[in-house]
Structure formats: C-alpha cells, structure tokens
Chain A
C-alpha cells in the first residue's frame, strides 16, 4: 500500500522566519511524483510545489522549496520568509496508481500558523 505520513499536526512560525514541514511516504514504484498542497480557510486546495522522483535537484517555487530524500522516502517542504497568508493546512500527496488512472493519496495534514 502507498501511504503518506505527516507527523506534525500543528506548527507555528513567526512572520519572516523559515519553517519546515515533514512528510514521509511508502511506495514500491521507482518513478513517481510528489506534491504539496495548501488548503486555506476558504477550503480550496492549491498546488504549492511538485517534485519528480527521478530528478535529483530539489524543486523550488519562489519562497517554497523541498528537501527530497528518495532513499529515505522523505519529502519535506521549506517555507522561507513566512507570510501571514501562508497560514493554512498543508498536505503532502502521492499519486497512487489504480486500475487505469492515478489519484492523489493525501497525508493527514499539518496546520501552519504564521504569527506577526
């Protein structure tokens, strides 16, 4: 079974500081993608960043970057220069293959609070 584990239910960071959210996963596949999604209070899930497993270089999107450790099956999200608007639930997700398609399998999420 392909599982996604987020071990930090809640985190807090001060504005302008850096925070890292952890995610581990389990899979027997060799090539795959990993995602971080953000869910603000409006409930709409928004893609933050995506990583391809066969790429050794860690993905970066502006203030967001990942630390992808394939052997350890670890995929953490680093948010630099945190902003109040980063307050949200963050979900790590892995596309599980079933029948003829892929569907995202989500972790339980980390609630991030950015304080002034």
Chain B
C-alpha cells in the first residue's frame, strides 16, 4: 500500500515570497490533515478536510495561508506572503474518519524562510 506522498521535501524562500506544498493521501482515505511543526514542538493542526470539504480550519492563518483539496483526493497548502515565523515542517496526514483510527503521515516538507 502506497503511503502519503508529499512534495517538495525541502524549500527555502525569502520572506514575502509565496510557496506551495502538495500532498497525495492514501487511496480511500476521506480525511486529510495539514499540520505545522515548528522546531522543538509537537505538530499543530492547520486544517482538516473530509473529502473535499473543510472540517476545521480554526488555526489556519487565513490572511496568508490557504488550502484546497480538489475532487477529495490531492491537496495543496499555500503560503502567501511568507514570514520568517513560517519556517517549520509541514506534515500531511490522512485517515479514514473516526476518533480511534490511525493517521498516516507523509515525510513532510521542511520550509525555511530567510
């Protein structure tokens, strides 16, 4: 079974530039998550999709971050314009719906904003 795919693995950009991350979840997983993990901290949920609808985006900085999940499969997370404090690892995860189900994670994208 193929895992969660993310790209790119690394990205370095200057502040005020834009960047996009891509995620392809495990086939059949209706729920998709984007997490932000700042160095030395646990992952923080940015947005959660159920199929192609947003379930929770309460912690997404909507003035600069946006995300979409077209056709309920792939997802893209965008930052525009980037700030220094956006430097972090961005993790994508997918699961079948439910509170007790395992979330499967991709390898993440390490973003450095200079």
Interface residues of A (CB under 8 A from B): 4, 32-33, 35, 42-47, 50, 52, 91, 93, 95, 97-109
- Is B42's CB under 8 angstroms from A95's CB? no
Q: Chain B: how many interface residues by the 8 Å CB criterion?
A: 27
Asked whether A101 and B45 contact (CB < 8 A) given A47-B102, A95-B100, the answer is no
List 14 A-B pairs, Cβ < 8 Å.
Answer: A33-B99, A42-B107, A43-B91, A44-B105, A52-B100, A91-B43, A95-B100, A100-B50, A101-B48, A101-B97, A102-B99, A103-B48, A104-B43, A107-B42
Interface residues of B (CB under 8 A from A): 31, 33, 40-45, 48, 50, 55-56, 58, 89, 91, 93, 97-100, 102-103, 105-108, 110
In the assembled complex, how far is the CB of residue B93 from the closest CB belonging to chain A, in whole angstroms?
A: 7
- Is A103's CB under 8 angstroms from B43's CB? no
Tell me, in angstroms, the Cα distance from A109 to B97 when the chains sit together: 25
Closest to B110 in A: A43
B55: chain A residues at CB < 8 Å are 98-101, 103
- Is B110's CB under 8 angstroms from A103's CB? no
